[in-house]
Amino acid sequence: MKRVLIFGSKGVIGRQLVKECMVKFGPNSLTLPAKSDNSWDIVNSKSVSELIEGGKPDLIFNSAVSYEENFSEAVSVNVIGSQNILESVHRLGLKARVILIGSAAEYGNVSAQENPIPETRVLKPYSIYGMTKALQTSLAHFYAPLGVDVIVARLFNISG
């Protein structure tokens, strides 16, 4: 049985991940940390590491997000939170696949003539959210050569 850990399971994307993972892997395979109970905090490296070490997940989704235009808040959740996950997986030597939820906002303004956007396009975010998501992608590029199985799913046109 696969063990799945989903950060941000209460958000728009997280709720859909929960539904899909319950169907694919079964309800007993899921760990859904809830920020409201103060038992974990994605910006606290110790609590993230303990959660990952205790659950030994095979698959980790990070859909926890801050859309705040407050730079410190956005960096804390979108960058530091992701770094805590990636560093824990690396330090523990886990073979878990980590899927970080990216964003089209990483590309910045794109003209109609530039579509479709190739993944090789230079990232030019114009918002704090886009900038922090681009930093999250940079973390994935940093940890992948260190042996962390990490994927960035850069999503477009989310509604919910």
% pLDDT > 70, the chain: 94
pLDDT at 7 > cutoff 90 = yes
Q: Read off the pLDDT of residues 28-82 as tens digits, 9 standing for 90 and up.
A: 888 877 664 444 689 999 999 999 999 999 999 999 999 888 999 999 999 999 9
- Examine the pLDDT at 85 and tell me if it is beyond 90: yes
Identify whether the C-beta of residue 71 lies closer than 8 Å to the C-beta of residue 128.
yes
Phi, psi at 31, each rounded to 5°: -120, 120
